[in-house]
Amino acid sequence: MRVKIVSYSILIFFITLVQSTVLDNIAIYNVKPNLLMVFIVSVALLGSNVEGAVVGFICGLVQDMVSGGPIGFYALLGLYLGFAIGSINERLYRENVLVTIIVTFISTVVYEFSVYFLSYFEKGSLQLVYPFTHVILPEAVYNSVVSIFIFIIILKIKRRSEKVAKDSRRY
């Protein structure tokens, strides 16, 4: 468990650093991937609903702090996303990359649509077509491609953590 907590903490720090600095320079059509959301989906797919919710809440808090918006907005969205993905993961083959790509695509569409809807709820007019076609769908494709690499890293961390836990129980 310690290996997993330390690894996730380092990975959250590194992902936040990359997302807030490097990805601004490699945005495609002004769309950049949401690495923290992909991290939440990958952890929730490989773990339980509680693990997904906790990681989602922590990643959301980190994203709240980096974005400069009100604290708690992304934390709640991350919590709900991690819990929802963690709840359905028992019905899916967890260690399949194709499942991760599909779940990441669907999660990105739902997550970003929720962010758009809740952010612009007070403004009166919601335009659904333009943000969906120019921001949400390209980001979903981008996140799905990036999810392959993040999923492999999370899978290695999970296997290493299980190996350490198994070795410690041997004696």
Q: Answer whether residue 124 shows pLDDT above 70.
A: no
CA distances from residue 9 to 12, 58, 72, 82 in whole angstroms, order as listed: 5, 10, 19, 16
Alpha carbon distance 171, 169 (integer Å): 6
pLDDT tens per residue, range 7-52: 999 999 999 999 988 887 887 888 889 999 999 999 999 988 899 9
Residue type, 147: S
pLDDT tens per residue, range 77-114: 999 999 999 998 777 777 788 999 999 999 999 999 88
Confirm if 82 and 56 have CB atoms less than 8 A apart: yes
Token pair 């945005």 is found at 27
Alpha carbon distance 52, 66 (integer Å): 21
Alpha carbon distance 171, 154 (integer Å): 27
Integer-rounded Cα Rg, in Å, for the chain is 16
Enter the pTM of the model.
Answer: 0.90
